[in-house]
């Protein structure tokens, strides 16, 4: 087998089309966004003759304290030979680029779990991307989809319509400030920050240029009350980031926005709508517990991805990274628990 680097957008898109449900994190557009963040990006192909047996898009993340090679929702592989070959190459690539460790988050659940024995030298790691998500099949009529929603979800959608909430869709930054204000209000209400508005602005700009991102904003009159960045890639729409005002929550604007995004995805030929992250079933105090209740109101199937794995190039540096990640996760959990307790006391 030959291992080559892909430098052609057309070729990369053709390769990904050969895999079932390729994730947007492996898309050419996502790689170009990483370049905007000054993360050196590689697209690797393993070929047997003309046939591509495995593929991986990965990039170097350089922080103040650590450097690692990261492959989100990859690598993609047809068989164990292709997977073995690309994992061997990625180990070498990590060493050559001075990484402290290589980090992979596989996408294909059943295939990867069967071949986990190929991960010699890898260790289980915390995931960066959501390990659990909720996916709605769009292979049904809009009427059947709507009737499958929780009763309270249907009620709030209808309430927003009665309040004359309208949904606008943008593929430019013309109304970004409306969304940024909603993000700020949501952050204050939730008491923790996942991504900065500046980061999301850069992300949306690049992905919109590549025609896979849209900004949905719900308005009550002229006032923005809910917003979301929705991706549409290879037949799957993804509810990537969202925000709402306090009034928007009360009148069902966020519910109506999601319903509008689902209908838009159906019209554009998408077969699935991914809510991009829910809390684990056995962790009621998880930071995402509240938003998970909201998402589950739309029905869908819970999908759990394989564990993440790391290949330590420098064992001591990797152990330090694990410690820092653990302490950060504990801090976020403490904030979420305080918020959860304050809600319980009010009730």
Question: What number is the average pLDDT over the span 30-52?
Answer: 96
Quote the pTM value.
0.90
Q: How confident is the model at residue 327 (pLDDT cuts 50, 70, 90)?
A: confident
Nearest to 195 by CA among 135, 258, 242: 242
What does the alpha-carbon distance between residue 94 and residue 108 come to, in Å, rounded to a whole number?
Answer: 23
Cβ-contact 46, 3 below 8 angstroms: yes
Q: What is the mean pLDDT of the chain?
A: 90
Domains of the chain in sequence order: 2-129+306-340 (3.40.630.30), 132-304 (3.40.630.30)
Q: In this prediction, what percent of the chain has a pLDDT beyond 90? A: 74
Per residue in 196-246, pLDDT (tens digit) is: 888 999 999 999 999 999 999 999 999 999 999 999 999 999 999 999 999
Kindly tell me if the per-residue pLDDT of 324 is higher than 70.
yes
Distance from chain centroid for Cα 299: 19
Helix axes 151-162 and 253-267, enclosed angle (nearest 10): 100
Kindly tell me if the per-residue pLDDT of 51 is higher than 60.
yes
């Amino acid at each position: 087998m030959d291992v080559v680097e892909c430098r052609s957008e057309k070729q990369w898109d053709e390769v990904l089309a050969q895999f079932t449900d390729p994730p947007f994190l492996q898309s050419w557009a996502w790689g170009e966004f990483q370049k905007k963040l000054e993360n050196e990006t590689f697209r690797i192909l393993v070929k047997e003759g003309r046939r591509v047996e495995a593929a991986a898009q990965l990039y170097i993340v350089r922080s103040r304290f650590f450097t690692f090679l990261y492959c989100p929702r990859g690598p993609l592989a047809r068989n164990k030979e292709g997977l073995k070959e690309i994992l061997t190459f990625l180990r070498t690539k990590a060493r050559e680029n001075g990484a402290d460790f290589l980090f992979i988050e596989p996408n294909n659940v059943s295939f990867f779990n069967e071949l986990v024995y190929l991960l010699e030298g890898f260790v289980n790691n915390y995931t960066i991307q959501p390990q659990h998500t909720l996916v709605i099949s769009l292979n049904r009529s809009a009427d059947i989809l709507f009737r499958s929603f929780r009763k309270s979800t249907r009620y709030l959608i209808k309430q927003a319509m009665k309040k004359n909430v309208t949904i606008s869709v943008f593929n430019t930054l013309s109304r970004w400030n409306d969304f940024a204000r909603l993000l700020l209000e949501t952050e204050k209400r939730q008491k923790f920050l996942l991504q900065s508005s500046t980061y999301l602005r850069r992300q949306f700009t690049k992905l919109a240029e590549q025609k896979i991102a849209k900004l949905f904003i719900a308005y009550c009159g002229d006032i923005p009350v809910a917003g979301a960045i929705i991706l549409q890639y290879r037949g799957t729409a993804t509810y990537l980031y969202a925000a709402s005002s306090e009034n928007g929550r009360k009148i069902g604007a966020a519910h109506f926005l999601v319903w509008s995004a689902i209908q838009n995805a159906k019209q554009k030929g998408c077969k699935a709508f991914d809510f991009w992250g829910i809390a684990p079933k056995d962790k009621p105090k998880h930071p995402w517990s509240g938003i998970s209740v909201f998402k589950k109101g739309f029905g869908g199937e819970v999908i759990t991805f394989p564990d993440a794995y790391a290949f330590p190039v420098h064992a001591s540096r990797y152990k330090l990274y694990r410690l820092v990640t653990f302490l950060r996760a504990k801090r976020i959990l403490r904030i979420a628990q305080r918020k959860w307790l304050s809600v319980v006391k009010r009730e």
